[in-house]
Amino acid sequence: SRQEYKAQKFYKEHLSKFCDGVELMEFKSALRAKFGSLPFFSLIFYSSFILYWFNFELALVLSILNAIVFIGHFVTYNNWLDVFFKKESSWNVAGFLKPKHETKEVIILSGHMDCVYEFKWWYRLKSAGIYLTFIGSVLIILQAIGYLSIFLLNDPREFTSGWALVSWFILVLLSPANATLFDMHGKNVVDGAIDNLSGIAISYGVGKYFSGEENRLSNIELRILSFGSEEMGLRGSKAYAELIENESINKKITVLNVDTIRSPKNFNIIKAEQNPFTFYNDDLIAELESSFKNENVEYKVSSIGIGATDGTSFHRKGIPTLSVIG
């Protein structure tokens, strides 16, 4: 958005006060593909209930395809449907701090800048809205499993009676939960002070600290990154990970991503992000644990059950990464 561009320019100006160099990097991506696809998944989901009575085989095929593409595109952040959406501009900002001597390693400290339209059912119904969204997502997959079970374990001509009919009715009774996916976003934009201007502020503060001559690192180049369009499917981090993929082959690069810090007393080192099947390196986790213990920082090691962080983009490129949330 225009506001994101202004925010990244604002951040660039502030990084310029102490960084050796700063870049504002435009990239293009199908920003609306992740959430813009949800109404189509919902429409196919509801259509399959009706088709069940007129053409069971077609309903079966549609439900299976719907579930597979839903998992591949939306749940696991693989963005399969990007080709059907227009590419739009977003921006990353990178500040560079050179070491005192020769660069032997690069550490990237990152957060994300963008805002998102409010998840209105989460806002209105609180935790109940989150549960409904989760149930609505699972129902797309359960519909495919249920129809396939009826096809494999039942005489196809008997799908209108017995346990097959009971299964169909149960899915229909639960199906209103899927409406939270069809109409997920409200019209108001959330400013994102926690998610994730907190990560931006922390990255800025650490960068400023290490910019002074007395604290300048000896052989480590420090990069301060602000990613755009994280809420739209990790778009900014994916663009930057692709940019440095070749650089990481010949240079040791480590990413420490900071996301959603409410309180310094609740740091969580993320060991896994379940949706995108991201599992972080145990040795790197142990190294960060040791640092926290040495500084008497309270922390936990945990996983993210729903969603993902920008760390996933780098992990998929084989770049050593950790995410810390609060």
266 DSSP 8-state letter: G
Q: What is the mean pLDDT of the chain?
A: 94
* pLDDT(156) > 70: no
Amino acid identity of residue 76, one-letter, is T
Which H or E run contains 139? Answer: helix 127-153
Tell me if residue 122 falls in helix, strand or coil.
helix
Question: CB count, 10 Å around CB of 234?
Answer: 27
Amino acid identity of residue 255, one-letter, is V
Q: Could you give the CA distance from residue 134 to residue 128 in angstroms, rounded to a whole number?
A: 10
Please give the backbone phi and psi of residue 221, each rounded to the nearest 5 degrees, phi first. Answer: -80, 130
* pLDDT(309) > 70: yes
Quick check: pTM over 0.75? yes
308 DSSP 8-state letter: -
Q: Which residues contact 95 (CB under 8 A, 6 or more apart)?
A: 12, 15, 16, 19, 21, 22, 207, 223, 224, 225
For 148-214, the three-class secondary structure string (H helix, E strand, C coil) is HHHHHHCCHHHCCCHHHHHHHHHHHHHHHHHHHHHCCEEEEEECCCCCCHHHHHHHHHHHHHHHCCC
Average pLDDT over residues 255-264: 90
| pLDDT, tens digit (0-9, with 9 covering 90-100), for 173-185 | 999 999 999 999 8
* pLDDT(92) > 70: yes
Average pLDDT over residues 158-180: 92
pLDDT for res 306:
87
| pLDDT, tens digit (0-9, with 9 covering 90-100), for 9-59 | 999 999 999 999 999 999 999 999 999 999 999 999 999 999 999 999 999
Band of the pLDDT at 188, cuts 50, 70, 90?
A: confident
98 DSSP 8-state letter: -
- Joined together, the tokens standing for residue 50 give 């009706």
Amino acid identity of residue 132, one-letter, is L
Q: Could you report how far apart the first and last alpha carbons of the chain are, in Å? A: 27
* pLDDT(267) > 80: yes
Band of the pLDDT at 157, cuts 50, 70, 90?
A: low
pLDDT for res 159:
81
* pLDDT(279) > 70: yes
Q: Could you give the CA distance from residue 313 to residue 139 in angstroms, rounded to a whole number?
A: 28
pLDDT for res 257:
97
Band of the pLDDT at 203, cuts 50, 70, 90?
A: very high
